[in-house]
Amino acid sequence: MHIEVQTRNVEGQVTSLGSAESFTLVVDRPAEGGGGRLGFNGGQLLYLAVAGCISNDLVREARASGIELSSVRVKVGGDFVGEPAVSDEIRHEVEVAGDAAEDRLRALVDPVDEIAEIPNSLRRGTPVRLAGVKVGRAS
C-alpha cells in the first residue's frame, strides 16, 4: 500500500496544513520556536502516528476475534534529546474495554504490538532520504 502525504505552509506563516487523500490537519511550531501554536509539531505527529497505528490495529484484530471494543486508549510518550534532537525510547500504554473477558482483551495487545506497522518501522530503522529539491524566488 503506497502512502503519500504533504504539508503546505499557510501563506506567509510557519503554520502548515498537512494532507493525505481527503484528510487534513494543522502542523505548527511551538510559540517559543516562532510558531502560532495552532497545530501539532513534528514530534507530536510522530508519537500520534504510533498511537494511531496501534489503536487501528487493536480495533481490527478485536473485530477479527469477534470482540467489540467500547473504548481504546493508546498513550504514547518520550523525550527529544541531543543536537539535533532525536527521540529517545518511545513508550506506549494501552487501555481497552469491550464485550469480552479481561484475558481475551489483554490477549489482543501483545500480538498488535508485534504487528503494528509504525512501531515496527521505527524498531527496524526504516531509512529516510531526501529524494528531491525544488527552489524558487518569492514573487
pLDDT by position in tens, the chain (length 139): 999 999 999 988 899 999 999 999 999 988 888 888 899 999 999 999 999 999 999 999 999 999 999 999 999 999 999 999 999 999 999 999 999 999 999 999 999 999 999 999 999 999 999 999 999 998 7
Q: Are residues 91 and 49 in the same domain?
A: yes
Residues 47 and 63 reside in one and the same domain: yes
- 74 and 94 part of one domain: yes
Collapsed DSSP state (helix, strand, coil) of residue 84: coil
User: How is residue 115 written as a grid cell?
Assistant: 504487528
One domain for residues 36 and 49: no
> Domain limits at 25?
1-40
Instruction: Report yes or no on 133 lying in a domain.
Output: no
Is 134 contained in some domain? no
How many folded domains does the chain comprise?
Answer: 2
Claim to verify: residue 51 and residue 119 sit in the same structural domain: yes
Are residues 54 and 11 part of one domain? no
Residue 113 and residue 46 share a domain: yes
Q: Do both 33 and 2 map to the same domain? A: yes
Q: Tell me the C-alpha distance between 118 and 108, whole Å.
A: 17
Residues in a beta bridge with 25: 18
In contact, 87 and 46? CB cutoff 8 Å: yes
